[in-house]
Amino acid sequence: MTDWIALQSRAADLYDRVLPMVTDWDAATPCSEWTAREVLAHVVDEQMWVPGLLAGGTVDEVAGDLEEPLRRLTGASGPDLVAFWHTLRAPVAAAWRGTPTDDEVHLSYGRAPMVHYLAQQTFDLAVHAWDLSVSQGVDLPWGDELERAVLDFVRTDLADDPAPELFSAPLPGFDSGGVPPRHAALARTGRDPSAWPAA
């Protein structure tokens, strides 16, 4: 069985490596509409929701609690977002560890198993850490176990993605046996690993 708690921690660890590398917060990223700063703003935004949702709050309830913190994200500088990330890391990790895996969580598209949300957030962290690293022309390996787990997630849970507007269409040509799992996973989100300097 996949240890998603450990993998979430490993994906979060990527930010300890990638954030000091970011020198150009206006750099283009594989998310065609987002700069490096906007990618990190998205990551921080997503992390802010985790403790409240895992505590049993509905999306509307947690949104009310986050109104002021989310407002502060608007227009925040890259270094400010890095500081936000560091304040969130420990409480988010504690929330994951403290939630039974058979719990359900309220998400924007309905109730879902906690493990689905955990895998989704691990996937999100890993993919956006790659976005940030290649935006700066740097490679950021995930490690074999994280690569395989994220690829399995996008092949199964994400195959019936309830929010398809969040991702571009999968790119062909990256699903053969010789393609590294990370490349195959990224291509399924519409990213082209071969188009970036670190690929």
- Please state whether the predicted TM-score (pTM) of the whole model is above 0.85: yes
Count up the domains in the chain and report the number.
1
- The whole-number pLDDT of residue 160 equals 59
pLDDT means over runs of 10, the chain (199 residues): 94 97 96 94 97 97 95 93 97 96 92 94 97 94 96 82 63 81 92 77
- The whole-number pLDDT of residue 199 equals 42
Q: Which residues span the domain enclosing 34?
A: 4-195
* CATH code for the domain in which residue 118 is found: 1.20.120.450
Written in H, E and C, the secondary structure of the chain is CCCHHHHHHHHHHHHHHHHHHCCCCCCECCCCCCEHHHHHHHHHHHHHHHHHHHCCCCHHHHHHHHHHHHHHHCCCCHHHHHHHHHHHHHHHHHHHHCCCCCCEEEECCEEEEHHHHHHHHHHHHHHHHHHHHHHCCCCCCCCHHHHHHHHHHHHCHHHHCCCHHHCCCCCCCCCCCCCCHHHHHHHCCCCCHHHCCCC
